[in-house]
Structure 1
Amino acid sequence: MAKGSQFDVIVIGAGFGGSACAGLLAKRGLKVALIEKNAKAGGKAMAFSKNGFTSTPWVVITAPIIENSFEKVLNELGMGDRVELVTPDPSGGAIFRNGKGKYVPMPDMPADNAVMDPNIIFDWLEIPEAEREAALLALTEITLMSPEDIDKQDNISFAEFLAKYNLPKAAYGYLVGSIHDACFVAPVDAVAASEGIQVLQSIFLRSGGLFAKGGIGRVAETFAQAVVENGGKYVTRAKVEKILVSDGKVTGVATNKGTFNAPIVVSNAGIQPTVLKLVGEEHFDRSFVTYVKDLVPSQGLPGVRYFLNKKVIEQPFGTIFSDDSYWTLERFNKAACGEMPEDIAVLYEVPSNYDENAAPDGKQIVLVSVWGPADGMSTAKDMKPWWDKCDEIMFKVFPDMPKHIERREPYSSKNVSVLTRDKVLPNQGGECIGLGQLVGQGGGQKPSVKAPIQGLFFVGCDAGGYGVGTQQATDSGINVANVVQRYHLMHTAMT
């Protein structure tokens, strides 16, 4: 791109937040440049194809299904027919390790999205009838809590909120180890209760387990294509080296493909890399820099890709958990120091069970993830205990897997960092989601989408959205597009 190219808005990064924001702004008439360092859009949920297999690089399970943020954006863009979203039957996907050490699949879900009798769940979890009232009360109050009451839960952890119910151990393990931990990738005693309640409520009322044929990254690719189709510029393999600032205002970005100029820059690169690297500490007050450095990311989600020469697993996705597999701050810190628990929760996704083109005929790709360190410089030695847990637990649950593995590909938080987020602080860069949705930085206390530099905004999971992973990022994209559009119109008309 020639030096001096002028736009209304530059968006850095074509993850779900950046691509949604850029696509919406272009559709609404702004001249937009979307700049992505990789070959395609999608960020951490980018779709890839290799040796006849097509999927995301690792487990990506999103929620809700009903009134999801993907369709909101696709519909406004007039591109709802460009992506085939699918909602595979989750029956049997959640697998509970009971007190006898037996792995028991969740009972089949009722047809037509009918509400499952909670007693079926309680029977599966082997909860005595005398202990079920507390679990029913918790489920009911989470499901029916008003937005106003949810907002009041910012300052306590989800663990503190749940403690008042004195839940049966298996019910707690199901809510936290199977659902909460997969949604937040942050310990239950750190996640803000407001975030936990809101997300579980959306899953209870609007279901979960939304995917796309060709990989969920196809959604972000479509958002990015909207920029081009509405007169903007979408540049791939362009790494932003610096956000340009003059007299307290952004003026554009410098990349390996030239300079792009605009009075507004929206960064999907993460708040910490944006402030500490792309802009530079010298352009901010010391108090803001300290605040940014103090923000805590989610945990990492390392794991293994298994390429099988035979279909072994029937379920499309799920979690493997017990009443003692959920993570707490103390438990994770011990694991990171070498004291790995015997039982940890495992997430798995089998794209070829909901997308007939995800694997060659008769073969299967299985994506498996567990929690792990978020350090973007993690080594294979650091990751080996976590990868070994993937093998250990998956092979116990699916004993035919080992003899049908054609190829095994471990992946680490370093792979996540290389693909999506620059490491600028210790134990950061390879986080699964972005900033953790934690007490003090979640709910109403999330970072502002507006930076203390004129014309600079943040988008993605770090600011401006609610929900689970890619849908949280897309929700941020919607909200930040609204903020930026208003900012653009005000400054065009009144300055």
Structure 2
Amino acid sequence: MQKKVVVIGTGPGGSACAALLQGRGMDVTILEQNRFIGGRCSTFEENGFMVDTGVHMFATGPSGPHGQVARELGVAQPWLVSNPSESMWMNDNGVFYLYQKYTSFSALRELAVAGITGRQRIDILNTLRRSVNSFGVAGLLKEIAWMRRASPAFVEKYDEVTVREFLYQFTEDSGVHRAMNCLSMLLLVVPYDKSSAGEFICAVSGIFRHGTLGVPRGGAIGVPRSFLRAFTRDGGRLVLGVAAKEIVVEGGRVTGVVGSDGETYAADVVVSNAGLHRTVEIAGEDSFPAEYVEYVKGLKLSYSWLATKLALERRVVDLKAPSFFPIPQVEPDEIFAYCDDSDGLPEDPFLFVPMPTEWDPTLAAVGRQLIIMGVPTSNEVDQEERSQKMLDIGEKKLFSFFPRIERNLLWKSRITNKDTNRITRKGKGDCIGLAQIPGQVGSRKPHPKLPVEGLWAVGCDAGARGVGTEQATASAMLVSSLIT
């Protein structure tokens, strides 16, 4: 007899897990509370432009978990990859381009030219001296080799160390620290004085090892949509517009899920993509050991990104790479300090500015340009006035680099934590889920199997490593294998 499974949510973790389980012979129903798929990884038509619900790029694209699952399911998932992939502004001397293969001729040439012109400045002597003092010459060479490989043992060694602590072993250079703090916020959505060095090393090494950072053709929705195409092909049932109101637990095991439509969906197994906090809430705290409830309540969530979507009448930003991020010219430790202050505003904000139509021109009419400008913030929902001020500051900075954006603007709209919460309904505006910080990663990451028989978590809260949506899909691979 087929085992009945209910999956809650169609984010990349939920949709991938459901498709994998359905393909392995289970009888799977997905409940999606929204009337669209993908959650924070979705795409909508907005005034003639196809616009993502979040600020997205995908660290390893077709080589990573998304591509691996699509290949296992036998579905197409077209990707677009660019080289160079990022334009980084570090000072007034101009833009420094980042290539995906850092040992390639183009990457080495760019590094050399940027060093000569001053577009990037690294205190090489300080870095060498400090690195050798920390490790010795032979030890330093070994450390670099291990870092490039990012073996599980090496990553685990640094799981309980922050990126800031890790970096100070090698250099005190403020330019390096600024850039790495920004990269930590970009990849893990946590400042570098809080983020796990093990997770950071794993993420960065994966990007450069694969060299396939990119976006799915047609927008972020291409990831969950490809998984759900396989899911429905194999006989899975997708129910949109029905939220999971209660996970029914009887005698210490799940028996089903009560939907917002009043129907009870019987289940031998429930897989929740709703996050651990919300999962415990709808299953009922009294269904779990008291110490587990306290453990979950103590878990910390990631920070978030606000965004302005800018639709332009014509292409006015012409860079060699389809994304742009200017590094703030403030002390490294101060870059994101405003996030933790309830009234805080950035003096010089870090901006993440992907230009989706530079990756994929089909997202808008011919000749038009779509730009997304992201500004980091806390995960608090009740900060709307402050959020609007942050975006005002961010836009002013962006327009100072590219004044023609403002003159060619067709329309703009904004995404705040209220919009994120409207999608997730978790009461927070976090981008990722659990923060990838010491104490919450690697062997100390929450196990996807909850202490109720038949109840599992999937997504960024459970069991995997990686960057954003890729972590969620990696979790789906793990959870589906454990269940089957």
- Per the normalisation by structure 1, the TM-score is 0.88
* 2:95 counterpart of 1:96: no
Q: Deviations over 1:405-428 (max 9, x none)?
A: 1212121011111112421xxxxx
Q: Deviations over 1:223-262 (max 9, x none)?
A: 1122211112111111111111111111111112322101
* 2:177 counterpart of 1:169: no
1:52: which partner in 2? 48
* 2:60 counterpart of 1:64: yes
Task: Look up the equivalent residue of 2:471 and give its one-letter code.
Answer: Q
Report the Cα distance in structure 1 between the residues aligned to 2:102 and 2:201, rounded to whole angstroms: 25
Superposed displacement of residue 342, structure 1 = 2.0
Residues 367 and 288 (structure 1), Cα distance of their counterparts in 2 relative to 1, 3 Å cut: same
Superposed displacement of residue 78, structure 1 = 0.7
Superposed displacement of residue 208, structure 1 = 5.4
1:114: which partner in 2? 104
Residues 108 and 375 (structure 1), Cα distance of their counterparts in 2 relative to 1, 3 Å cut: closer
Task: Look up the equivalent residue of 1:275 and give its one-letter code.
Answer: V
Residues 88 and 296 (structure 1), Cα distance of their counterparts in 2 relative to 1, 3 Å cut: same
Residues 326 and 222 (structure 1), Cα distance of their counterparts in 2 relative to 1, 3 Å cut: farther
Selected match of 1:255 from 255, 259, 263: 259
Report the Cα distance in structure 1 between the residues aligned to 2:366 and 2:314, rounded to whole angstroms: 9
Task: Look up the equivalent residue of 1:337 and give its one-letter code.
Answer: S
Runs (5+) with no aligned partner, structure 1 = 1-5, 424-428, 486-495
Contact 1:96–1:320 (CA under 8 A) maintained in structure 2: yes
Secondary structure of 1:340's aligned partner: coil
Contact 1:270–1:458 (CA under 8 A) maintained in structure 2: yes
Secondary structure of 1:310's aligned partner: coil
1:443: which partner in 2? 442
Alignment of 1:140-219 (within 5 A): 142-177=147-182, 179-207=183-211, 209-219=213-223
Alignment of 1:317-328 (within 5 A): 317-322=323-328, 324=330
Contact 1:90–1:318 (CA under 8 A) maintained in structure 2: no
* 2:357 counterpart of 1:352: yes
Superposed displacement of residue 291, structure 1 = 0.8
Contact 2:62–2:79 (CA under 8 A) maintained in structure 1: no
Report the Cα distance in structure 1 between the residues aligned to 2:409 and 2:331, rounded to whole angstroms: 26
Runs (5+) with no aligned partner, structure 2 = 132-139
Superposed displacement of residue 198, structure 1 = 1.2
Secondary structure of 1:238's aligned partner: coil
Residues 341 and 483 (structure 1), Cα distance of their counterparts in 2 relative to 1, 3 Å cut: same
Contact 2:450–2:457 (CA under 8 A) maintained in structure 1: yes
Report the Cα distance in structure 2 between the residues aligned to 1:443 and 1:172, rounded to whole angstroms: 24
Residues 473 and 149 (structure 1), Cα distance of their counterparts in 2 relative to 1, 3 Å cut: same
2:466: which partner in 1? 467
2:5: which partner in 1? 9
Secondary structure of 1:202's aligned partner: helix
Report the Cα distance in structure 2 between the residues aligned to 1:311 and 1:223, rounded to whole angstroms: 33
Report the Cα distance in structure 1 between the residues aligned to 2:288 and 2:249, rounded to whole angstroms: 11
Residues 182 and 311 (structure 1), Cα distance of their counterparts in 2 relative to 1, 3 Å cut: same
Report the Cα distance in structure 2 between the residues aligned to 1:133 and 1:323, rounded to whole angstroms: 24
Task: Look up the equivalent residue of 1:205 and give its one-letter code.
Answer: R
Contact 1:135–1:168 (CA under 8 A) maintained in structure 2: no
Superposed displacement of residue 285, structure 1 = 1.8
Q: Deviations over 1:303-348 (max 9, x none)?
A: 21111111112342232214547566981455x3334342221111
Report the Cα distance in structure 2 between the residues aligned to 1:188 and 1:108, rounded to whole angstroms: 20
* 2:408 counterpart of 1:404: yes
1:270: which partner in 2? 275
Residues 172 and 226 (structure 1), Cα distance of their counterparts in 2 relative to 1, 3 Å cut: same
Report the Cα distance in structure 2 between the residues aligned to 1:193 and 1:339, rounded to whole angstroms: 27
Alignment of 1:409-448 (within 5 A): 409-423=413-427, 429-448=428-447
Superposed displacement of residue 76, structure 1 = 0.7
Contact 2:100–2:212 (CA under 8 A) maintained in structure 1: no
Task: Look up the equivalent residue of 2:80 and give its one-letter code.
Answer: V
Task: Look up the equivalent residue of 2:7 and give its one-letter code.
Answer: V
Residues 411 and 112 (structure 1), Cα distance of their counterparts in 2 relative to 1, 3 Å cut: closer
Contact 1:53–1:360 (CA under 8 A) maintained in structure 2: yes
Secondary structure of 1:44's aligned partner: coil
Secondary structure of 2:361's aligned partner: coil
Superposed displacement of residue 389, structure 1 = 2.4
Superposed displacement of residue 43, structure 1 = 1.6
Task: Look up the equivalent residue of 1:470 and give its one-letter code.
Answer: T
Aligned-residue identity in percent = 29
* 2:366 counterpart of 1:361: yes
Residues 420 and 194 (structure 1), Cα distance of their counterparts in 2 relative to 1, 3 Å cut: same
Task: Look up the equivalent residue of 1:106 and give its one-letter code.
Answer: F
Q: Deviations over 1:82-141 (max 9, x none)?
A: x211112335x323241xxx2621247499982622545545312355345369968666
Report the Cα distance in structure 2 between the residues aligned to 1:327 and 1:303, rounded to whole angstroms: 23
Selected match of 1:374 from 379, 395, 406: 379
Contact 2:325–2:351 (CA under 8 A) maintained in structure 1: yes
Task: Look up the equivalent residue of 1:152 and give its one-letter code.
Answer: K
Report the Cα distance in structure 2 between the residues aligned to 1:96 and 1:20, rounded to whole angstroms: 36
Report the Cα distance in structure 2 between the residues aligned to 1:484 and 1:467, rounded to whole angstroms: 21
Contact 1:13–1:267 (CA under 8 A) maintained in structure 2: yes
2:313: which partner in 1? 309
Contact 2:174–2:331 (CA under 8 A) maintained in structure 1: no
- Per the normalisation by structure 2, the TM-score is 0.90
Contact 2:335–2:349 (CA under 8 A) maintained in structure 1: no
* 2:370 counterpart of 1:387: no
Task: Look up the equivalent residue of 2:25 and give its one-letter code.
Answer: G
Structure 1 range deviating more: 310-319 or 195-204 = 310-319
Selected match of 1:296 from 297, 300, 317: 300
Residues 168 and 283 (structure 1), Cα distance of their counterparts in 2 relative to 1, 3 Å cut: same
Contact 1:243–1:279 (CA under 8 A) maintained in structure 2: yes
* 2:120 counterpart of 1:125: yes
Superposed displacement of residue 175, structure 1 = 2.6
Task: Look up the equivalent residue of 1:133 and give its one-letter code.
Answer: L
Secondary structure of 1:189's aligned partner: coil
Superposed displacement of residue 36, structure 1 = 1.0
Report the Cα distance in structure 2 between the residues aligned to 1:341 and 1:378, rounded to whole angstroms: 14
Superposed displacement of residue 190, structure 1 = 1.2
Report the Cα distance in structure 1 between the residues aligned to 2:402 and 2:313, rounded to whole angstroms: 15
